[in-house]
Structure 1
Amino acid sequence: MEKHYPAARALFEITPEIEHLAELCEKNTAIDKELYTKYEVKRGLRDLNGKGVLAGLTNISDIIAKKVVDGQEVPCEGELYYRGYNIKELVKGFLDADHYGFEEITYLLLFGELPSEKELKKFHDTLVERRTLPPNFVRDVIMKAPSRDMMNSLSRSILNMYSYDAKADDTSIPNVLRQCLNLISQFPMMMVYGYHAYNYRMGEDLFIYAPKPELSTAENILMMLREDRQYTNLEAKILDMALVLHMDHGGGNNSTFTTHVVTSSGTDTYSTIAAAMASLKGPKHGGANIKVTQMFEDMKKNVHDWEDKDEVRQYLCDLLDKKAFDQKGLIYGMGHAVYSVSDPRADIFKTFVKQLAAEKGYEKEYALYETVEHLAPEVIGEKRRIYKGVNANVDFYSGLVYSMLGLPQALYTPIFAAARIVGWSAHRLEELKNVDKIIRPAYKALAEHRDYVKMEDR
């Protein structure tokens, strides 16, 4: 960076002065953890059992992790519903019918009903006609200063779309729907073109392919991503299923709640979706699948015998003891804010992961994933005080799926976003329709009030 920007060297260094100020910052921002209990603060807007504080109502999706038995809530196999339909039945439906599900389930989440064949065809055509970017957008926005992080690149592209929209600030339902349909359709292009633009800057060949109208969203992603434009039917079907599984997950997940919060302020669609993108980027949310993949890469290097359960167990213990991988003390892909027995999305993924692993020659890797899935809850239970069960979440297997599909890690989280933008759109529309009140929770102030001290007396 110094070579290209020598005058701004201090911008990119942690100087001794910054370190001193950081110590002061940490000292005066630290809060005694016991005070959270004393004042009954629901950290993370959840109780000790992981149950979220009720902050809103939604018709879009429902997560079931507990059932009432003899008057008491008990953990159960996880279930996910889109507009009242079980996700497993929806996936089975479009797989049995041998058609792609992204467009059909997008219609369902946005409009509340499963489309007829005629409605689906018309909706597909609506999305196709919006698979275009403004003139010179690729050159003027995407190709300029491409980011090594695709989520940041995408957020910038989305925010720049504001400049091309004459009705950018109109928050009426028809206009916001128009904007959302545009972004859903344009997102795959922004994602893939941003990836190619960065690679071009790094010295690789540049190829930009326009989406084909006859292809599904999943097919177009694979076609635009690969220089030879080739992909197999199984690859496209599994990517399509991954998009459907990631589309929505209740109103309380971090990025969707961000969508509600930002929408409640009255701001525009582009700012709202960019804010949701910033949330999803985090490694505790959408960025988790990259962490899972990187963790397993480290595990494969340091565990000599992948079939030796004792050796795998020791590595997992080292993870929790902050001795392995990134020293964060986490086993990525394990545990969920809501589910405690099973994540239905992971269950669906697992079925197809095994099939894909056999086809791609990844049987040993799949077996290692299975071993970790079985051992991790035991190890976590031994090492940590947990208030509910621990299970593999959707990120646990999605990274393996994407690696077997040959997708670059830089696009793992953007692919999640390409799906979740549908849910964000549905929730933005729901917030605008039903709630005209800015979201503003309370924080208890702890700092004692003090008298002002003049400069000469400090």
Structure 2
Amino acid sequence: MQTNDKTYIERLAALAEKNNFIEPSLYERYNVKRGLRNSDGTGVLVGLTNIGEVHGYILDEGERIPDQGRLLYRGIDVWDIVKNFQKEGRFGFEEVSYLLVFGQLPTRQELVEFNRLLGENRYLPEGFIEDMILKAPSNDIMNKLARSVLASYSYDKNPDDLSIPNVVRQSIELIARFPVMVAYGYQAKAHYHGNQSLYIHLPQPDLSTAENFLYMIRPDNQYTRLEAELLDLSLVLHAEHGGGNNSTFTVHVVASTGTDIYSVIAAAVGSLKGPKHGGANIKVMEMMEDIKNNVKDWADEDEVKYYLTKILNGEAFDRKGLIYGLGHAVYTLSDPRAVLLKAKAAELAKEKNMEDEFGLYLTIEKVGPELFASIKGSDKILAPNVDFYSGFVYKMLNLPIELYTPIFAIARISGWCAHLLEELISGGRIIRPAYKNVIGKRKYIPLEQR
């Protein structure tokens, strides 16, 4: 586009903005469920699922009663899942993936076989790394991941077959290859956009998903057991979150058209990239860096409260008046993912000698809700959500910030594939909600009269 087109583009942008504005009062007049939310903040019921359940409150005669948060995978509390595989000294993501996609816990032999299948399918097709990743490096790994998913269609001998055996085969390949696509996408970005050395480590079939990712992302392939356990826990906790979250709902919407799995999953990746969804932990990290730079003594609760007050009054950080990472659309008293991640993060903070910074998170968790209530005059209950601690976990793992959301995708691909299968098996109708036109009728004006 030529330089002298800039003014014209600005004029067109102003025109687009003017003619796409809808008076906010119209949404209330027509009882529009904006964001597919009811007036009380609950989600509009648009489907049924056997896969995940998110519990954050109790509805009593239309009133929301706060409750301890629960997350269930196929009816099993994620807390019980985590406690059991950790007690046995195992990694859990592969077991959870099996549970989500196939609907039941695997036997020991079934888990061994599933791990073997994932390991064998981690290798990308011949020519894929060079032609699809290295020849077109992207500055954003989520965009590169979406492109890699779409490109996989061309390497699949049977991409459009929606029979369940074929979609299961495709799902296993995507679950196995997502960490590899992300790792190579990152290495390409670091090399071509960051002028760093290029490392292309072959995936290891005998390692867990978490171990394998750390192996591929680090120049020396080295990681500790605790590091791998914490990343594995993060993957488990991000694998599924019900059918109504934006990216999973995207899976249902796109899959309901009858399109191929690669189009469906690429759309979900695009949804997850958004800062209001999968990119939320990056906002938390940006806020925390700002707090660390402006609070001299992290252990001084009064100093922390003083700066948080400035943030809430819109006088500091991004001036939006929000403490990011506190509060959730569904959870009230607690987010079980945050509780589990926090406990494991405390172990790694000690190993990494980052207990002072971890203490700062604990202080914000303690005083943030009280300040929010007094300054905003709100009775909303705020507890840390998973994004509050996940960014800190990734920082302790020495992972660059541009990998935070892609790691979310590595975890959520299991849940996406489960919901895709559920839509194919039980959906049956294209999803098509209504939009009311409020502009009214207009007459066409001949060109010479405009």
Distance 1:280 1:303 in 2: 32
CA distance in 2, matches of 1:107, 1:147: 32
Residue 279 of structure 1, CA deviation = 0.5
Shift of residue 69, structure 1, vs aligned partner: 6.2
Q: TM-score, normalised by structure 1?
A: 0.94
2:273 is aligned with 1:281: yes
Count of aligned pairs? 449
Instruction: Please tell me whether the aligned partners of residues 207 and 227 of structure 1 are also in contact (alpha carbons under 8 angstroms).
Output: yes
Counterpart of 2:85 in structure 1 is 94
Alpha-carbon distance in 1 for matches of 2:138, 2:247: 21
Q: Distance in 2 between matches of 1:189 and 1:272?
A: 19
Contact 1:49 1:388 in 2 (8 A): no
Alignment partner, residue 179 of structure 2 = 188
Query: 1:376 corresponds to which letter in structure 2?
Result: G
Question: Residue 378 in 1 paired to residue 370 in 2?
Answer: yes
> In 1, are the aligned partners of 2:335 and 2:383 still within 8 Å (CA)?
yes
Give me the identity figure in percent. 55
| AA partner of residue 353 (structure 2) | G
- Three-state SS of the structure 2 residue aligned to 1:74 is strand
Are residues 1:429 and 2:421 paired?
yes
Partners of 1:361 and 1:341 in 2: CA distance: 30
Given the alignment, which residue of 40, 50, 55 partners 2:41?
Answer: 50
Q: Is structure 2 residue 218 aligned with structure 1 residue 226?
A: yes
Aligned position for 2:123: 132
Partner of 2:23: 32
Q: Equivalent residue for 2:432?
A: 440
Aligned to 1:408: 400
Segments of structure 2 that go 5 or more residues without pairing to the other structure are none
Distance 1:257 1:383, change over 3 A: farther
| Paired residues for 1:263-282 under 5 Å | 263-282=255-274
Match of 2:157 among 154, 166, 179: 166
From 110, 126, 142, the equivalent of 1:119 is 110
CA contact (8 A) 1:295 1:332 kept: yes
Give 1:132 deviation, angstroms. 1.1
How far off its partner does 1:337 sit? 1.4
Distance in 2 (CA, whole Å) between partners of 1:9 and 1:200 is: 30
Q: TM-score, normalised by structure 2?
A: 0.95
SS for the counterpart of 1:64 is: strand
Quickly say closer, same or farther: Cα 1:145–1:218, change in 2 above 3 A: same
Match of 1:355 in 2: 347
| More off after superposition, 158-167 vs 20-29 | 20-29
1:362 partner letter: M
Of 10, 18, 22 in structure 2, the residue corresponding to residue 19 of structure 1 is 10
Among 104, 110, 114, the residue aligned to 2:95? 104
Matched, 1:248 2:227: no
2-side partners of 1:388 and 1:173: how far apart?
Answer: 44
Deviations 1:145-164 (A, max 9, x none): 21111100111111100111
How far apart are 1:295 and its partner, in Å?
1.2
Change in 2 beyond 3 A, CA 1:183/1:14: farther
**Residues 302 and 87 of structure 1: is their aligned pair in 2 closer, same or farther, counting only changes over 3 Å?**
same
Partner in structure 2 of residue 215 of structure 1: 207
Amino acid at match of 1:42: K
Query: How big is each residue's C-alpha offset from its partner over 1:311-341, in whole Å with a ceiling of 9 and x where there is no partner?
Result: 3334334334443323444322122111121
- Report the alpha carbon displacement of residue 70 of structure 1 after superposing the two structures with TM: 8.8
C-alpha separation between the residues in 1 aligned to 2:189 and 2:445? 52
* Residues 69-78 or 98-107, more deviating: 69-78
Unpaired runs of at least 5, structure 1: 1-7
Q: Hey, what does 2:307 align to over in structure 1?
A: 315
Q: Is 2:65 the partner of 1:74?
A: yes
Which ranges of 4 or more aligned residues in structure 1 deviate by more than 6 Å? none
Question: How many angstroms apart in 1 are the aligned matches of 2:61 and 2:13?
Answer: 53
Question: Residue 3 of structure 1 aligns with which residue?
Answer: none
Per-residue deviation at 1:388?
Answer: 4.3
Partner of 2:67: helix, strand, or coil? strand
Q: Secondary structure at the match of 1:330?
A: coil
Q: Hey, what's the Cα distance between the residues in 2 that align with 1:235 and 1:320? A: 34
RMSD: 1.9
Pick the aligned partner of 1:145 from 136, 154, 157: 136
Residue pair 1:349, 1:397 contacting (<8 A) in 2 also: yes
Aligned counterparts of 2:91 and 2:294: Cα–Cα separation in 1: 40
